[in-house]
Amino acid sequence: MEKTPKTVKESATVTHDIVHPGDANSYGIAFGGYLMGLLDKAACIAARRHCEGKVTTVGIDGVRFFRPAAVGAILDIKASINRVFNSSMEIGVKVTATPLEQTETFDVCHAYMTFAALDSNGKPTGIAPVIPETDDEKRRFAEAHIRRESRKKLKALYTGANTSPEKP
């Protein structure tokens, strides 16, 4: 059954959080793992909205941390589908922060996450195509293909280099 294409904005999501002391290290700065969890959750929401079904995280690429977010900062987490392949999709995710008692926001981190759609048996299943509309969405669509090809080449390098029966 052919899936009906969707625009990027149909599944894009914005969520929010606040950095609490339990989310931070002894210097009052948000843990990277805490931020990664926020990225994963937002990407999952966008993926589920696009697929209208079960999804799972396959991989995370291009994680970059730009500035620390301190306790009390309000975080905005944005996620949108960059490109759909057969049973997987790349989702761009970004976190910005507004520090306590300030109004100016800044970039905290971003990542590219790959999710797979799953059928009722937990097996990969086809995904509706995504339609990029804006110039930015079209750029991200094209760049997602480049990143996918890079991932495939890197996987082939690792697979070829790891041919001995003793695997780490």
Q: What is the pLDDT of residue 161?
A: 64
Q: Where are the alpha helices (DSSP H) in the chain?
A: 8-11, 32-51, 135-161
Largest CA distance in the chain: 58
Q: What percent of the chain has pLDDT over 90?
A: 86
- Residue whose C-alpha is closest to residue 74's, from 43, 94, 103: 103
Q: Is the pLDDT of residue 6 over 60?
A: yes
pTM for the whole thing? 0.90
The architecture that CATH gives domain 6-161 is Roll (3.10)
Cβ(44)–Cβ(55) below 8 Å: yes
Distances from the Cα of 44 to the Cα of 5, 22, 39, angstroms: 19, 23, 9
Model confidence pLDDT, tens digit, residues 31-57? 999 999 999 999 999 999 999 999 999
